[in-house]
Amino acid sequence: MDTLLLLVRQIRFEAVGINSYELVDPNGGELPPAPPGSHIDIHLKDGTIRQYSLSNDPADRRRYVIAVLKEEAGRGGSKLLHDSLHVQHRVTVSLPRNNFALVADAKRHMLIGGGIGITPLKAMAHQLDAAGADYHLHYCAKTADHAAFREEFAHLTAKGQVSFHFDGGNPADGLDIAGLLREHDGVTHVYYCGPPGFMAACASATEHWPKGMVHSEHFKAPVADAAKSATPAGTGIVEIASTGQRLEIPPGQSIVDVLNDAGIAVPTSCVSGLCGTCTVRYLSGEVDHQDYILDDEERGTQLTTCVSRPAGGVLVLDL
């Protein structure tokens, strides 16, 4: 997988528990384009890889900016990054990938961010504002001190494009998500990103919306679905199209684990069906898709090997 070695030029305290990290080319060159909604993998010193959305204006090709919430109860990646990544360090990152793109021809955009989920929506707001698009961003946080990038949002707030909603830790006192999304006008596209409870509320509130007009990005697998993917039913079989080799996928093992054990290298990152690093094409067979990024059309030809499984018969992979 192609990677970049970038320089940490600046680290800023943005909100309670949140730092932003500005990454630049060590030689001052332009970085590969990163449309709004893009994320990069950060390769940490112990081999840990984590995904972080880019929050900077996509028109600014001289830097990538990520924002990281230090999660004391997380898997350790955010704590390691906060504790070990410093100004003037160099860090390996992936090329940007985008599973959460803006719809170019949408007439109106509604962006709803919860907590650290604001990061990809901030990049969207930069582009939409520059284009003079019809949009509004709702930013939900516990308090003003927990809301990152308030200074950068100030001019958009003054223009009426950004609204803040603080709940003091009780979602019932914050944005009425169900009320906001109760009606759809047939032209507005909604985009949301945030913690699991926030995501569940947005998903419930948009159940009656046209499917193609609702877009979301998880940064953590929903608890119920994560439990399901951790206990897959039955043994499956995958076939490698180039060699005819067949491999059993036993319960408790993923396709990508079996492939790597057989010497067939497939890169991984999130191992939760959230990032797309391990996506491969398949040529025939039925798939039990358990990812959170592929749309219905993509699922007709692709699968994420970290969480998806054969659904019966032989699944032929384009490898």
Inter-residue contact 268 to 278 (CB < 8 Å): yes
Inter-residue contact 148 to 139 (CB < 8 Å): no
| Stronger pLDDT, 50 or 55, i.e. the higher one | 55
Domain 3-98, CATH homologous superfamily name and number: Translation factors (2.40.30.10)
Please list, in sequence order, all residues whose beta carbon lies within 8 angstroms of the beta carbon of residue 220, skipping any fewer than 6 positions away: 195, 196, 272, 274
Is the CATH code 2.60.120.10 the one for domain 108-218?
A: no
Is the CATH code 3.30.930.10 the one for domain 226-317?
A: no
Nearest to 190 by CA among 284, 69, 100, 257: 100
Q: What is the pLDDT of residues 59-111, one digit of tens each?
A: 999 999 999 999 876 667 899 999 989 999 999 999 999 989 999 999 999 99
- Range(s) of the chain covered by CATH 3.10.20.30: 226-317
- Range(s) of the chain covered by CATH 3.40.50.80: 108-218
The two tokens of residue 270 are 């999130």
Distance CA 177, CA 181 (A): 6
Q: What is the pLDDT of residues 168-188, one digit of tens each?
A: 999 899 999 999 999 999 999
Please list, in sequence order, all residues whose beta carbon lies within 8 angstroms of the beta carbon of residue 230, skipping any fewer than 6 positions away: none
User: What is the longest distance spanned by two Cα atoms in the chain?
Assistant: 62
**Mean predicted lDDT score pLDDT of the chain:** 91
Dihedral sign from CA coordinates of 269, 90, 100, 171? positive
- Range(s) of the chain covered by CATH 2.40.30.10: 3-98
